[in-house]
Amino acid sequence: MDLSQPRGIRDIEPDEHETHEKIRHTFEEVARAYNFRAMEPGPLENLATLRAKSGTQVDEQIYNFRDKAGREIGLRFDLTVGMTRYVAKKKDLKLPVKLASYGGVWRYDEPQHARYRWFYQWDVEIFGDSTTEADAEVMDLSYKLFEKVGVGDFILRIGDRRVVEEYIRKKLKVSSEDKVLEMMRAIDKVAKKAEPDLVKEYEEKGVGREELTDLLKFGRIRGAPAAVLAKLEEHGLESVIGLSELGDSLKLRGLKRVEYDLSIVRGIDYYTGLVFEISDVAHPDLGSLCGGGRYDVLPKIFGRTDLAATGAAGGVERIALSLSEKKAAQTNSVYVAFTEPALFGDAMKVLASLRDQGTRSDIGQRGKALGKQLEDASSRGFRWTVIVGKRELAAGTVVLRDMRDRKEERVPLNEIAGRLLG
Amino acid sequence: MDLSQPRGIRDIEPDEHETHEKIRHTFEEVARAYNFRAMEPGPLENLATLRAKSGTQVDEQIYNFRDKAGREIGLRFDLTVGMTRYVAKKKDLKLPVKLASYGGVWRYDEPQHARYRWFYQWDVEIFGDSTTEADAEVMDLSYKLFEKVGVGDFILRIGDRRVVEEYIRKKLKVSSEDKVLEMMRAIDKVAKKAEPDLVKEYEEKGVGREELTDLLKFGRIRGAPAAVLAKLEEHGLESVIGLSELGDSLKLRGLKRVEYDLSIVRGIDYYTGLVFEISDVAHPDLGSLCGGGRYDVLPKIFGRTDLAATGAAGGVERIALSLSEKKAAQTNSVYVAFTEPALFGDAMKVLASLRDQGTRSDIGQRGKALGKQLEDASSRGFRWTVIVGKRELAAGTVVLRDMRDRKEERVPLNEIAGRLLG
């Protein structure tokens, strides 16, 4: 029988799953400490709901289909849309509300190396708080997540769409909405494309060479927050207050690896204010590990003009890749062996007690000779073997064998679990 | 805009999500202690793979569709099929292999109260071990899961399809495969339907009144393992060796709430040997909390005649319902308040330190008066408030306010987190 899987769908195998679990637990802990409550939006949405998030780019990637009754359904492509739909609909929620979510998402992309049609995301959102403090909270949490999960050398890069927009309107005197949007998209490409190519591309779109050059120069402003704020002062933009307040808050929060970068505007069009990305300095090939910002527009599309929204999300597979060089510590697995068949019952009791204390443990097959059991323990990679023998048992002890150096010692029965966990 | 969700799909809201997280963590811990490795099969399968699991009953319930390229795809309806496909395909795995999985599954059912088209399951499977010890291991793990998660009063009911089949063939002299299967289905209904109704139903299917009555009497044998084994002795069935070996092992493993019940044969046709269910004695309405058994047939369908398989799975929503009466303990959430606006920065440092130590904590809004902050803390249900004041701060302390009885005391800064976690 054909055992293939659908295109772009794979299994998460044990080694990778262990890393995922570690990331998930760290995320749960950090989100709890920051007083976000966890929830999970349904994995299926009406296609119309998924399409509400403007970007046509995303629209093409939606994994959608008709169900057996002919309804147009889509698998969620992120957690943000579902979380926003949930809050928009639930009118009795006390605001502001801070929500966290972790789950699988689907994209009908062309599968590539390490890019699948199903992958995991974490996501945090604050609804109903329009202060800069809420933006800072989301960045702070994301920063701490990468710190705690062990991504060594990362950087938080922050921009503000309002500042770029004000510059385009006031300084470059552009008033057409479409043109403003085109120019925002151009600045997004500063780091990725050479200037001559950009000038050519955007001249075809009706953006003059001079205004684009000017804009790109503005977009290249980046560095430490204080330095960027100083540079911005000469432009006399009112909207700079956001980056200024944010700088104060991030300093109080003790965030150090922070850079302001005016070319950060985030591709998707629904962001409305402060935006940010975190990336692994040692792995620029991975792209951003997370991204986020303020997107007050989406709740409005869902009929809630009162609902401010800011948040962040990131891919779990990317963190796993970033961590992949740091090998997981060997686990304290224990194999319980017995010197003669009649002691299987006693060995089983030792096993039950180890398991009850949470130690990863297993037992030799009933009836197998000790030599065979030790071979088995070794080939299956157990860290320790506990050998249950008649004489030792009578003295309330067992033999603990270190499978690395084969050293053995007698240990009192009630001390094994503690010894192995320590 | 219409914010409805697809039929039978809902969000897992924060209160319920908290219970799910608790169940998930307990499952992860128990599976680890029993030396199962966690993995997750892909959520989408080719429809043909899902259909391999014989039951036509399940076939109707598969949530399937055509993808954008016209391929027949289905959302997984359990984790067992994907796990078995994974092991069947991965020929280099060292056997036996013990795998655990936890994830969402989909059924295209008619939604009913507390029955959705998307819900969570946990699942453990042992592949490549045909001994009774492997069946005992799976039952032991399931039993401990319910014990640790806090389902108070549950019972493990065990049957053996081989025993019932041998009885039907040898004692009732039935040789037609179809008829044997019909009779297995009849015995499955002993507890659910009145005997006269069953006799009528199965007479129409060609099962004689006398043989059915005889079979139902056999199916009513149940009780403590030793008592059932004694009763079975008079029938002289060879296959009773399985239940006998199992009884010894479960005794060694210290499982007490165990009953043998010959009417337990599990509905789905692919089970081949020992089968079991665990149910909450206080909530018979919930049905079984988990079920499992040996199903050597499925790996065969996937082309692996060498691969024995036994396992168990259960629904997470059902455990949550079973636990719903036992209210979750109040969490140690802390609200950090400040007596004057100038102390916001100091309060923020206290907050950062609490969060770093994992305490669920939040802070008053910048610029708000203390009275307003305390109202806020109270209305949002915080358990504690830490008040940062000028004089206290100078002495290296803060005021800790118990929001239940409004009692206050001074506490050294570096002792707060410890006090709250204790």
Q: Where in chain A is the domain with CATH 3.30.930.10?
A: 1-130+296-329, 152-286
> What is the per-residue pLDDT for B181?
87
Least confident of B62-66, B164-168, B339-343, B358-362: B358-362
Best A2, A29, A32 member to test B by mutation, with max B CBs in 10 Å, is: A32
Q: Which residue of A has its CA nearest to B366?
A: A133
Length, in residues, of chain A:
422
> What is the per-residue pLDDT for B91?
92
> What is the per-residue pLDDT for A206?
85
Place domain A152-286 in its CATH homologous superfamily: Bira Bifunctional Protein; Domain 2 (3.30.930.10)
Helix (H) and strand (E) counts for chain B? Answer: 17, 17
Least confident of A44-48, A373-377, B266-270, B399-403: B266-270
8 Å CB contact between A19 and A328: yes
From chain A, the residues in CB contact with B11 under 8 A are 39-42, 82, 86
Are B32 and A303 an interchain contact pair (Cβ–Cβ within 8 Å)? no
Q: Which residue of B has its CA nearest to A13?
A: B39
Q: Taking Cα atoms as reference points, which of B142, B141, B103 lies closest to residue A20?
A: B103
- Average pLDDT on B209-235 reads 94
Record the tokens describing residue B199, joined without a space.
């006799």
> What is the per-residue pLDDT for A57?
66
What is the SS3 assignment for A5? coil
Which of A4, A42, A333 is facing B5, going by the closest CB pair? A42
**3-state SS track over B218-248:** HHCCEECHHHHHHHHHCCCCHHHHHHHHHHH
The pLDDT tens digits for B304-337 are 998 999 999 999 999 998 887 655 445 689 999 9
Question: Does B81 have pLDDT greater than 80?
Answer: yes
pLDDT < 70 stretches in chain A: 54-57, 268-269, 325-331, 421-422
Q: Taking Cα atoms as reference points, which of B94, B45, B25 lies closest to residue A9?
A: B45
- Average pLDDT on B138-151 reads 96
Are B33 and A352 an interchain contact pair (Cβ–Cβ within 8 Å)? no
The pLDDT tens digits for A144-183 are 999 999 998 999 999 999 999 999 999 999 999 889 988 9
Any idea what DSSP says for residue A40? B
Are B11 and A41 an interchain contact pair (Cβ–Cβ within 8 Å)? yes
Q: Would you say domain B151-282 falls under CATH 3.30.300.30?
A: no
**Residue reference for tokens 């959430």:** B333
Are B7 and A39 an interchain contact pair (Cβ–Cβ within 8 Å)? no
- The total of other beta-carbon atoms located within 10 Å of residue A107's CB is 21
Return the exposure string of A20-33: e unless at least 16 CB atoms fall within 10 Å of the residue's CB, then b. Answer: bbbbbebbbbbbbb
> Could you tell me the strand order of the sheet in which A361-363 lies?
A361-363, A334-338, A384-388, A397-402, A408-412
Which CATH code is given to the segment(s) B334-421? 3.40.50.800
| Residue A6, preceding peptide bond in cis (omega within 30° of 0) | no
Q: Where in chain A is the domain with CATH 3.40.50.800?
A: 334-421
Compute the distance between CA of residue A71 and CA of residue A73 in angstroms, rounded to an integer.
6
Question: Does B55 have pLDDT greater than 70?
Answer: no
8 Å CB contact between B334 and B382: yes
Q: Which residue of A has its CA nearest to B331?
A: A32
Are A43 and B9 an interchain contact pair (Cβ–Cβ within 8 Å)? yes
Q: Looking at the complex, report in whole angstroms how far the Cα of residue B347 sits from the nearest Cα belonging to chain A.
A: 10
> Could you tell me the strand order of the sheet in which B72-75 lies?
B44-46, B72-75, B63-66
CA distances from A187 to A54, A159, A210, A213 (A): 19, 11, 14, 10
Q: Taking Cα atoms as reference points, which of B99, B87, B137, B145 lies closest to residue B314?
A: B145
Instruction: Give me the torsion for CA of B105, B109, B112, B115, rounded to 10°.
Output: -10
Q: Where in chain B is the domain with CATH 3.30.930.10?
A: 1-130+296-329, 151-282
In one letter, which amino acid is A13?
A: E
Are A35 and B333 an interchain contact pair (Cβ–Cβ within 8 Å)? yes
Are A5 and B301 an interchain contact pair (Cβ–Cβ within 8 Å)? no
**Residue reference for tokens 């025993």:** B163
ipTM attached to this prediction: 0.92
Compute the distance between CA of residue B125 and CA of residue B102 in angstroms, rounded to an integer.
12
Beta strand A44-46 with A72-75 is: antiparallel
Which of A131, A254, A352 is facing B254, going by the closest CB pair? A352
Q: Looking at the complex, report in whole angstroms how far the Cα of residue A279 sits from the nearest Cα belonging to chain B.
A: 22
What pTM was estimated for this model as a whole?
A: 0.93
Place domain A1-130+296-329 in its CATH homologous superfamily: Bira Bifunctional Protein; Domain 2 (3.30.930.10)
Q: Looking at the complex, report in whole angstroms how far the Cα of residue A9 sits from the nearest Cα belonging to chain B.
A: 6
Which of B34, B73, B354 is facing A6, going by the closest CB pair? B73
Can you say how many angstroms the Cα of residue B131 is from the centroid of all Cα atoms in its chain?
A: 24
What percent of chain B stands above pLDDT 90? 74
**Residue reference for tokens 């079973």:** B322
From chain B, the residues in CB contact with A64 under 8 A are 68
Compute the distance between CA of residue B124 and CA of residue B80 in angstroms, rounded to an integer.
8
- The total of other beta-carbon atoms located within 10 Å of residue A305's CB is 8
8 Å CB contact between A63 and A75: yes
Q: Looking at the complex, report in whole angstroms how far the Cα of residue A238 sits from the nearest Cα belonging to chain B.
A: 21
Instruction: Give me the torsion for CA of B205, B208, B209, B214, rounded to 10°.
Output: -110
**Residue reference for tokens 């024995």:** B308
Which of A6, A71, A354 is facing B46, going by the closest CB pair? A6
